[in-house]
């Protein structure tokens, strides 16, 4: 019985999965060393949290809405007075842009931008309960809550998925969380919930659909996990919800066509249905807003399309901090390792690919392309927004490719490949973590030249533990996390 095998597997591997989750929590806790202002939009997110329920004495006062500029890149002109959070330098928080003279004295409050009330997400409203006049403590509590939520999703992924699906899901997670994933999981912005929801929802839905109806308890657990992941996306960002819907549609189609050969007529019918849905969606304002492309008026249609075709792949590479073309002067070693390992895994998955698998992979790739191109339309510019807005799609993109692969030998199937991957990813994690701590402890000066290896400099934690110790723990915990996680995967019974 599938249920008895699942229960036996759950009891047998509970220790491994619990250990893997605990190591994941410890790893994320080291990322609290990155200051809470370490984001270009942190003023927007923190003010939105503090004003999640409107004006409150001492926390959010004098909300103002200015007339919108139709030519502005982002039509957002709402601000409020909140307790002093961080110094602003060239319209950015100084932790992220430390190129002004730091001021010792500051006012008790400051005016910062925020989300309009009609666009206030559930995430801001929920986290607003933890807002207080003690900014650092409030932010720390919010970040710890986000760490525990990410850990819960990770634990559910380890315990509620089995067999090939578990292998596929953990493979996708392994090669998509470096360098940005860990930073966002432990962050204070909406991206924490958004990325977690997009990354895990497809696996929970697939496990639910694959469970026989007679195993009611397991089905309930798996559908609740899926609802939890959808809630994270829905509560944080509408674009994340859109990604969840897209990956869920793929999983539903794969379930309906499982072990069935697709005829040319069925393919044409499916395409016709999507075209019909696209046509009907034009009459739904909210769908039309997110589905349609608005080409910047200063550029021609052909120019815009050609630019997207040439440069969108660069923003996919930006998931791994590749930093080429429009996004930087790279590539750097972290990006090279990340995109190479991801490509190798996908190449293994596509060996012996059937027509069905090729169609699914090409369709998903096209959707990733369109979503990234859509971000340029939202920003009213030729250049798409940063790749981390769509980072969550990396896991289902690889995971689904492995899940439906006809090749029994995947990249992570052999001990040698796993050791190689662990070493390279651990190096990438350590290098990126060091570069962040170096940037913030030295406030953006004399970085990347290794004039001194020690990170002891300006330290924002008022505790005895220094940045060198935190870096060492973070660097060591990542291979521990990978090892314990994959031991849980590899001890899965082959027939489950």
Residue-wise pLDDT for 129-139, tens only, equals 999 999 889 99
| Any domain includes 7 | no
Residues 120 and 154 in one domain: no
Supply the range of the domain harboring residue 97.
42-133
Per-residue model confidence (pLDDT) at position 51:
92
Check whether residue 53 and residue 121 sit in a common domain: yes
One domain for residues 159 and 252: yes
Residues 105 and 149 in one domain: no
Cα atoms found within 13 Å of the Cα of residue 331, Cβ hemisphere only: 16
Asked, for residue 5, whether it belongs to a domain, the answer is no
**Residues 75 and 144 both lie in one domain:** no
In the beta sheet, which residues pair with residue 83? 109
Beta partners for 56?
A: 60
Q: For 328, left (φ over 0), alpha (ψ -120 to 50), or beta?
A: left
Does the residue 415 lie in any domain?
yes
Residue 9 lies in a domain: no
79 by DSSP, 3-state: which?
A: strand
Domain assignment present for 391: yes
81: three-class secondary structure by DSSP? strand
Residues in the chain, how many? 496
Which residues contact residue 156 at a Cβ distance below 8 angstroms, ignoring those fewer than 6 apart? 200, 204, 225, 228
Same-domain check for residues 172 and 117: no
Entry pTM: 0.88
Quick one: 97 and 149 in the same domain?
Answer: no
Of 106, 133, 160, which residue constitutes the final position of a domain? Answer: 133
Residue 124 · residue 49 · CB < 8 Å? yes
How many C-beta atoms surround the C-beta of residue 385 within 10 A?
17
Give how far the C-alpha of residue 418 lies from the chain's centroid of Cα atoms, to the nearest Å: 23
Whether residue 352 sits in one domain with residue 316: yes
Same domain, 88 and 165: no
Instruction: Give the 3-state secondary structure of residue 335.
Output: helix
Residues 387, 343 share a domain: yes
Residue 207 to residue 243: CA distance in whole angstroms: 18
In the chain, which stretches have pLDDT less than 50?
Answer: 1-3, 7, 10-11, 70-75, 326-327, 493-496
β pairing state of 78-83 and 88-89: unpaired
Q: Which of 86, 79, 21 is nearest to 48 (CA)?
A: 79
Domain boundary (102, 118, 133) is at 133
Residue 3 resides in a domain: no
Question: Do 184 and 83 share a structural domain?
Answer: no
344: CB partners within 8 A, 6+ apart? 411
How many domains is the chain partitioned into structurally? Answer: 2
Report the pLDDT value the prediction gives residue 29, as an integer from 0 to 100. Answer: 94
146 and 116 in one domain? no
Q: Which of 133, 158, 183 is the last residue of a domain?
A: 133
| Residue at 8 is within a domain | no
Residues with Cβ within 8 Å of residue 24, at least 6 apart in sequence: 150, 151, 154, 481, 485
79 close to 112: Cβ distance less than 8 angstroms: yes
Q: Residue 223: inside a domain, yes or no?
A: yes
């Amino acid at each position: 019985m599938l249920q008895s095998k699942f229960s036996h597997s759950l009891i047998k591997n509970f220790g491994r999965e619990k250990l893997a989750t605990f190591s994941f929590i410890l790893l994320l806790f080291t990322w609290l060393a990155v200051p809470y202002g370490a984001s270009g939009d942190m003023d927007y997110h923190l003010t939105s949290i503090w004003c999640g329920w409107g004006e409150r004495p001492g926390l959010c006062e004098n909300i103002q809405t200015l007339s919108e500029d139709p030519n502005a890149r982002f039509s957002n002109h709402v601000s409020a007075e909140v307790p002093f959070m961080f110094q602003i330098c060239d319209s950015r928080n100084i932790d992220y842009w430390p190129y002004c003279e730091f001021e010792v004295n500051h006012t008790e409050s400051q005016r910062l931008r925020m989300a309009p009330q009609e666009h206030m997400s559930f995430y801001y409203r929920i986290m607003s309960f933890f807002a207080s006049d003690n900014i650092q403590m409030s932010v720390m509590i919010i970040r710890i809550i986000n760490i525990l939520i990410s850990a819960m999703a990770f634990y559910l992924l380890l315990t509620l998925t089995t067999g090939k699906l578990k292998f596929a899901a953990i493979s996708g997670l392994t090669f998509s969380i470096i360098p940005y994933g860990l930073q966002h999981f432990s962050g204070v912005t909406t991206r924490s919930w958004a990325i977690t929801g997009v990354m895990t929802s497809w696996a929970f839905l697939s496990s639910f659909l694959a469970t026989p109806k007679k195993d009611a308890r397991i089905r309930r657990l798996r559908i609740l996990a899926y609802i939890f992941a959808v809630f994270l996306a829905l509560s944080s960002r509408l674009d994340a919800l859109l990604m969840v819907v897209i990956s869920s549609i793929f999983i539903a189609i794969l379930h309906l066509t499982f072990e069935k050969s697709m005829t040319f007529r069925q393919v044409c019918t499916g395409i016709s249905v999507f075209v019909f849905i696209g046509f009907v969606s034009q009459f739904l304002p909210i769908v039309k807003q997110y589905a349609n492309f608005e080409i910047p008026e200063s550029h021609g249609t052909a120019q815009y399309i050609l630019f997207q075709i040439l440069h969108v792949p660069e923003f996919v590479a930006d998931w791994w901090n590749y930093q080429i073309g429009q996004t930087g002067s790279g590539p750097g070693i972290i990006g090279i390792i990340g995109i190479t390992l991801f490509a190798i895994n996908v190449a293994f998955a596509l060996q012996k690919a059937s027509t069905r698998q090729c169609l699914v992979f090409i369709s998903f790739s096209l959707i990733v392309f369109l979503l990234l191109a859509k971000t340029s339309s939202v920003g009213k510019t030729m250049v798409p927004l940063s790749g981390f807005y769509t980072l969550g799609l990396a896991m289902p993109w690889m995971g689904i490719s492995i899940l439906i692969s006809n090749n029994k030998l995947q990249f992570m199937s052999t001990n040698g490949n796993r050791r190689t991957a662990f070493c390279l990813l651990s190096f990438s994690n350590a290098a990126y973590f060091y570069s962040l701590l170096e940037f913030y402890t030295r406030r953006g000066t004399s970085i990347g030249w290794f004039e001194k290896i020690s990170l002891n400099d300006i330290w924002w934690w008022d505790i005895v533990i220094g940045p060198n110790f935190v870096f060492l723990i973070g660097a060591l915990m990542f291979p521990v996390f990978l090892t314990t996680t994959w031991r849980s995967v590899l001890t899965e019974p082959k027939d489950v």
